[in-house]
Amino acid sequence: MISSARVPRRVKDLIKSFLKPHVPKHLLSRFKSIDKQGMDTIAASLKHNYFSPQDAWFDDTYLTTEEGGKDFQDHHSKRLEEFRSTLIPWLDRANHLAGKNILEIGCGTGSSTIALAEQGARVTALDVVDSSLTVARDRCRVYGLDASFENANATEVKNLFAEQEFDFIIFFAALEHMTHDERIIAMRDTWDMLPPGGLWCVVETPNRLWFYDSHTSWLPFFMWLPDDLAFKYSQFSPRKPFHDLYREIDDQSMLDFLRRGRGVSFHEFELTMKRAEELDVVDSLPMFLRRQSLLRKMLWKL
């Protein structure tokens, strides 16, 4: 057994380099950089808008905690770095992003929007949280990129964009934050909107059938529980402040609980699209990453 603290930094860097997927030169050449002032502007927008203590999820001390610090850095810069090295090569391999029309559902604070727009895609980004969209707009302004933003629920997409065609429709960490009824409507409507050759993509949505919930509760088998039981059992979550939020069940508390993230299963894909064996699955991001990384390939074979 080796303590990670004793592993030399150069060894850690070497391991990371083996895990890091290859990014084609034509994608690398389009990455945009910003100066310190731009980074500070994004940081200020995140603190004022997204990490506001007015949100029940965050309090005045959240950003001073270890979890809060990691969460902040994730939104500030790490997500963009990760999307550039993983998501963008994956999507571009399926269909070159430059010049494509993309509907991004669940853009959050805009890291993914930047990653798509800097590749020359025309991005229409949607999110239900207005404070997240404020940060996303600020981020795009700092990077000098254009994107269209809509504050709306994914169930409204069919009416909002009835006359438009998209080469990609991407649900970005969004499906798990809808109620079941919303999810069925959004999945069915967007699937029907796709033109011939269009790609329907889902990114960073947890599989409800997986045994451990690393997304919301950090508890084993939590996603398998009926909603009422999961609501009550949330008090045993090691994640703050999640374990303090839900005690008395009422309509608003349950809705808020469901929106924290309950995962998605293949059954919903079959209900809204086709049976699994009939769907033309172009690629899977985890499989793509295993193919791209030498070390991932080796570990996958073990």
Start-to-end CA distance of the chain, whole Å, equals 19
Domains of the chain in start order, with CATH, are 26-205+265-301 (3.40.50.150), 209-263 (no CATH)
Q: Is the four-CA dihedral 151, 91, 293, 174 of positive or negative sign?
A: positive
What does the pLDDT look like over 261-271, one tens digit per residue? 999 999 999 99
| Residue-level pLDDT at 237 | 97
Chain center to CA of 105? 10
Closest CA to 26 of 97, 102, 113, 77: 97
Interval 287-291 mean pLDDT:
82
Structure tokens at 217: 């509760």
Q: Residue 208 corresponds to which amino acid?
A: R
| Residue-level pLDDT at 197 | 92
| Residue-level pLDDT at 241 | 80
Which helix H or strand E contains 43, and what residues bound it? helix 36-45
The model's confidence at residue 213, banded by pLDDT at 50, 70 and 90, is very high
* Residue at token pair 């998209």: 166
Q: What is the pTM of this model?
A: 0.86
- The answer to whether 210 and 223 have CB atoms below 8 angstroms apart is yes
What does the pLDDT look like over 148-191, one tens digit per residue? 999 999 999 999 998 899 999 999 999 999 999 999 999 999 99
